[in-house]
Amino acid sequence: MAAISIRNLSDETHRALKARARAHGRSAEAEVRQILDDAVAAGEGTGLGTRIARAAAEAGGLDLEIQRDKAVSEPVDFS
């Protein structure tokens, strides 16, 4: 497994991480791993539209009636 070191972490951030870890019943190191895993997983496999829809849902919702244009477009000729 890979390992990283994080330098120059502020005392406030370190205290907050330790408190968050304690609240979740794990070590500070395990908490940081979980935070990083969640951050990476959140963006995987989702396009911009999905991320916008997720953000809108978290902000209380957004109703849009969108239909994709399924017409095939011709490639652009740059010659």
Q: Give the whole-angstrom CA distance, residue 14 versus residue 28.
A: 9
**For 3-45, how does the pLDDT look when each residue is reduced to its tens digit (9 = 90+)?**
999 999 999 999 999 999 999 999 999 999 999 988 888 766 6
Q: In this structure, is residue 26 part of a structural domain?
A: yes
Q: In this structure, is residue 64 part of a structural domain?
A: no
What is the model's pTM? 0.53
Q: In this structure, is residue 16 part of a structural domain?
A: yes
Q: In this structure, is residue 71 part of a structural domain?
A: no
Q: Give the whole-angstrom CA distance, residue 57 versus residue 72.
A: 31
Which domain, by its residues, includes 46? 11-58
Q: In this structure, is residue 38 part of a structural domain?
A: yes
Amino acid making up residue 50: T
Q: What's the length of the chain?
A: 79
* The pLDDT value given to residue 22: 96
Residue 64 in this model has a pLDDT that exceeds 90: no
Residue 37 sits in a domain of what CATH number?
1.10.1220.10
Asked if 30 contacts 21 with a C-beta cutoff of 8 angstroms, the reply is yes
Number of domains making up the chain: 1
